Structure 1
Amino acid sequence: MAIMNKMREHMAVILFIVLLLFLASMTIGGLVGGANIVDIIFGRNPNAVAEVNGKNIPFDRFYRAYQQEIINYREQTGREPEGFQLETLEDQVFEGMVQNVILTEVLRKKGIKVYDDEVVFEIFNNPPDILRQNPVFQDSTGAFDINRYHEILRNPEADWRPVEDYVRSTLPLRKLQREILSSVRVTEEEIRQEFLRRNAKVKVRYVVFDAQAYQSQVGPISDEEVAKYYEQHRNEFSEPEKRRIRYVFIENKPSPSDSAETWQTAEDLLARARQGEDFAELAKAHSEDEGTAEKGGDLGFFGRGTMVKPFEDAAFGARPGEIVGPVQTSYGLHLIKVEARRKEGDKEEVQARHILLKFKPSVQTVEAARSRAEYIATQAKEVGLRQAAQAESLRVDDSGFFVEGGFIPGIGLNRRISNFVFHNREGAVSEVYETERGFYVVEVAEIQKARVRPLEEVKAQIQAILRQQKSFDLAGEACREAFEKIKRGGSLFDIVSDPARVREPEPFTMRGPVSGIGTDYSFIGAAFALEPGEISPPVKGTRGWYLVELISRDPFDEEAYQKARPQLYNDLLRQKRMQAYSQWLASLKEAAEVKDYRYYFFR
């Protein structure tokens, strides 16, 4: 009551302050394009998409680069990026700009400069990839031709200023990279070990004491054991804040008229092909099979069981030169031209080309779905998602709990939806989110704060862990007893009642896998550490425990090593340089203060 009385006494002052803040927000907002007063007070530049070590990345520069990446994607793939692809492009541009700010600061601190003679040397001797990939400077095989490049370079009429500007702008970073990587070395021992890792093979026999086989010998797990494990591993049961959403999904699926239009297009193309138009050229122009369209739809030779059944039946039922279709499969509609048939022993094969037309929603169908989703979003903000969806006879789904930035059950990975959910209160309804499959409207249903999961919730999980541990312990005990018998003069065959338990997989390398085991590096490491005829001590692997005997090892092939050595050296050097640079860059990013403001622009 005293607090309320104080507030009444100072109400005039409070109202005056609120009025000043309101006027300030209006004034500042007009000056900086819609800034809100909270941003100004707490120091966030409303026009910055990020802040890196105190330096702003303007949103307009970021957005221009983002749009350029979308254009590049469209030109490279012939498709519009959607959903997760858009997010991936956005992340690439964002990470690139953050990295550029960090590296620019490093260049400034190191005082790395570029001189004219260095630019000339680089242009003449180390042309950038953008030039190496230009067909003008390539030979008939598509390889960069340094002599042709030098010949064109000497042409006095050519304007090389754009190239000079490009090299001058990128050379500081290249000099920095050379400085970072100058200490990277590859030793003879590393090359030799890599050769062994790739090529040396061993032949072994082994006995496995599979932990699964001892599960039945494990007694009941007591509540005391569960409680003790829980107390000793409480941190393992902690989880961050989670949230749950309700959502409505409106699918982007073709309407009957869209499908009819696809059928008509297929019939038209079939008629043109049968009237004599080049099938390969039609495939290049119209096929939506990204893997074969550029090759004129060529599928090469294939046998039965390779293609989906309707396609296979049509292809094997046609004569060479015949064009059949449209054939409907789960991929869409196919027009198929059989080029040839042959027999390989008892196996018959056909060579064919095809044109694929996918069933896709038209622009009008997509816009109708979008409009419906927007209407749902508008209504849901007034009456809630359930009531708005019910009025439109739409189903409302529940995601269950998920963490920020993680997989959203029923939706998948979608950072923008996740950002909305974790930046808004319970009951908040989103705008429309578009994905490749359709449109989502979401509502924050429940917020579960960060916590340690209670014992009752994880009891079954702990029981399973303890049961697995005990079965491994029993398997290990049996393995050690068997090894003691071997130490007294026995063999692997002496410790088993059934000789079939002694297994001999095919020879394998250090990279694995091992037949019947997989890539278990504990097993592989133990095998390569043995001498022929030697049996290992008990080895704990992913399935249980092993006793391993080395039968033979390939001798070191010096001639093969010397032949492979140059390529191994180059592979290792490239790998170590990439690793060194990545680690150096990661350490810079970790030390940098990066504030990501994308949420304010992409909601």
Structure 2
Amino acid sequence: MMQFIRSNVGKALVFLIIPAFILWMVLEIGMEVMGGAGARAGALGSVNGSAITVQAYNDAYNAMMQQAQQQGTEITPETERAIREQAWDQLVAEILLRQELSRRRIRVTDQEILWAARNLPQPDLAQQEIFLTNGQFDLQKYRAFLGSARATPEIFAQLEQYYRESLPRQKLINQLSAGRFLSDAELWRAFQDRSETVTVDYVALPLEKLAPTAPTVTQAEIRRYYDEHRDDFDRPQGARLKVAYLPLTITEADRAGTIRQAQELRQELAGGADFAEVARRESDDTGSAQQGGDLGTFGRGQMVPSFDSAAFALPVNEISQPVVSQFGVHLIQVQERTGEQVKARHILLSFEKDPQEVDRLEKQLEAVAANAERLGLRRASQGVQGITFRDSVELTSETAFLPGVGPAQEALNWAQQAQVDIAAGDGSNVSEVLESPQALYLVQLDEYYGAGKMTLAQATPRIRDRLIRDKRIEAAMGAANKILGQVRGGQSLEQVAQANGLAVQRTGPFSRVMGNPVFGQANAAIGVAFGTPVGQVGPVARTEAGLFLIRPYERTEADRAQFDAQKAAQRQQSAQAMQQELFMQWLRNARENAEIKDNREKLLNQSAAA
């Protein structure tokens, strides 16, 4: 949860020279990645003639698997496949990087390593308690350690290896980002995108109702689309599904109930209860809850605005009143404050639907699931109040996300198992009721597929569904604008929705960059939500999730004074983000232009045959 509580900028990195993407050093792959010529016997593959050895691949895979297990990740067959692909991609990237460093003749001297070791500590060392003073890294303590007997030859050897690997990478990044500068206007806009939020009322406009006649699609149109979008059909593992869902829309009554719960916990703490124990028991921030709610030390602007304001105004050791953010309700205790840094802990209560209402919705979906066994999910969903049906939804291992539902790895896991059960003659193509933080939902399996390039025949059902949807949206836009015209004519959004058999729902708060479980991210709906005055209905928003009428309910504005106070830190963090993006862009380009041979499947088949 910590990555969501903190703003999108994330934690402030202490030193620019240590980019966040150097996972390779943690896994200690080193030069074992390259085993010589690409034709070397037993090599899993090669990159521009440099072999990837079986040993290096196994080391990377095992390290990633161990890390996933330590983090409590459920190890499913899908997880294992994803980790294997990640291990392969990492080894390819390591070789490309080494080749580029060689091509550019980027080296480091012993003097540069000595200077970095004294002045730029490895990030994990910088967080060690023995090097902190009032919660902040103390360079003098670190240098004293390097000069003491506790700094063994083994430690110096590890530090030398670290800097010999990281410093050339930083030199490459510096070359890639040379001449790039972020203006104050760009920083302000980025700050607004992160910190400004909006809560909206909306009406989802069902395409089947607005354009009931299914458009026709010719084979020529399908062929043309396939030829023009060939890259779109290089797919990861995934499934094509029908989806029916009931949103778990948080009402004002639900929000008030969560605030009351937070107030009760605050009274418990005021009565002498141990904060850490209550956090472990009650907090929905699973990451910090295990540490008794501890958030560590952070500076201004690293948390979302409401949390940030409360943390820097709260007296030390006092328990805050309930603080509302887009993540729920927080109880905050500041343990230390030094200048612009705060050490704090918190308890987070997420906004949740009333349990009795959730039970009612679940029973409603169970009845739909029973009918779907005979009728199919589309027909079983028709006429059911509040339910939204979506056809031909793609769900992949890379983007396990469903519009209106949110994270949907559970659905992908079910689809994978359903395929096996159906093939064995003992399964259903309709799921049980599944749940995400945003919705209760059902899925019907149309197809589960492996990774690879789709042929035209394989892609045809998806292309046909896509073209039908695009044409249907075009046809529905006329009817949607007529409904909007009723609002423009003086009727309220509620009146218009009721007259058309629809419902007004509420979602948010959300920022421009965090996306929304109903609308998605970076699309017309987000633009309408932020571009329309509060209380007014904007133009029809066309998104991948469908058509919407949107009326902003509440909006928070960015604090210019807060931005000015942390502009220097923002510039440093934004520069780091820009450097990382430039590096990733270079890596994508290098990979596209490289000659990469992947023999994994061939070797696995030979092993299976043997």
Q: Normalising to structure 1: TM-score of the pair?
A: 0.46
